[in-house]
Amino acid sequence: MALPGESVGILGSRRDGAQLVTELVAGSKDPEQGKIYIDGDPVVLDAPGAFLSEETLRFNAVRFAMAHGMSGQRVRSAVAIVAQEAALDDAVFDDQVRNIDHQTVERVRFYLALATGTKALVIDDSEVLFELLQNEWEQKKVEAFYGRGGSMILVSNDIRHLSPLAGRICWLHEGNFIMDAETATVKRWRTQLAKAEREKDTKRAGQLVRRFQAEYEPPALSLRGNARRRTT
């Protein structure tokens, strides 16, 4: 799905199966058929995955790092680096999350995800994170992540969130992938399908979907490094 140094968008809603794809990539669900190859343990940042609002930002940062396989000095180092990169003093870091603006909290989560050394970062339908990744400083972080061979998978039903960030998009429609192409190509065809659906032109909409399904070819997977297979 994603090669080293590549960003891939998954376009689709929960009904289309986008949530299931996220769970399969993350390993929280096993595929009923087929195989999944993964190099490293993906870190998933999702909109519902917010920090505990009653706890301090530092407590949540430590909890996040430990949940992603870090312990001891590695946790302390990661938290210290994140605080420095996010330009947060102790007063903010030791304040309750509910008192801190949402973008700062999401920025800390993003930096923590990178600090885990993950090779695969999945951002699942988090509008704040999509906007954050377009900031100049965060873009530098993303470029460094790609530079060391990291892959990013961005999941959203809104192509406007994916367009500035994804090099290509895999389009899910009613449980099936119907397109895997450059972002501009998917955006153009998605606009045409949306127009047909908005105008209740079911014939045109059906023709488009059938055409996409007929032309879609699942990508061939090439393995690298220590990729391992998940099977049922």
CB hemisphere CA count around 40 (13 angstroms): 21
SS (H, E, C) the chain: CCCCCCEEEEECCCCCCHHHHHHHHHCCCCCCCCCEEECCCCEEEECCCCCCCCCEHHHHHHHHHHHCCCCHHHHHHHHHHHHHHCCCCHHHHCCEHHHCCHHHHHHHHHHHHHHCCCCEEEEECCHHHHHHCCCHHHHHHHHHHHHCCCEEEEEECCHHHHCCCCCEEEEEECCEEEEEEEHHHHHHHHHHHHHHHHCCCHHHHHHHHHHHHHHCCCCCCCCCCCCEEECC
- pLDDT at position 220 is 54
- pLDDT at position 56 is 94
- Pairing relationship of beta strands 168-173 and 176-182 according to DSSP bridges: antiparallel
- pLDDT at position 203 is 96
Q: Rounded to whole angstroms, how far apart are CA atoms 13 and 174?
A: 9
- pLDDT at position 57 is 93
- pLDDT at position 157 is 93
Q: Rounded to whole angstroms, how far apart are CA atoms 85 and 108?
A: 9
Calculate the average pLDDT of the chain: 86
Q: Going from the first residue of the chain to its last (232 residues), give the mean pLDDT of each consecutive group of 10, the final group possibly shorter.
A: 86 89 79 72 77 92 88 90 87 92 88 87 86 87 90 92 93 93 95 95 95 84 42 32
- pLDDT at position 169 is 94
Written as six digits, the tokens of 10 are 């998954």
Domains of the chain listed by start with CATH number: 1-42+120-232 (3.40.50), 50-117 (no CATH)
- pLDDT at position 226 is 47
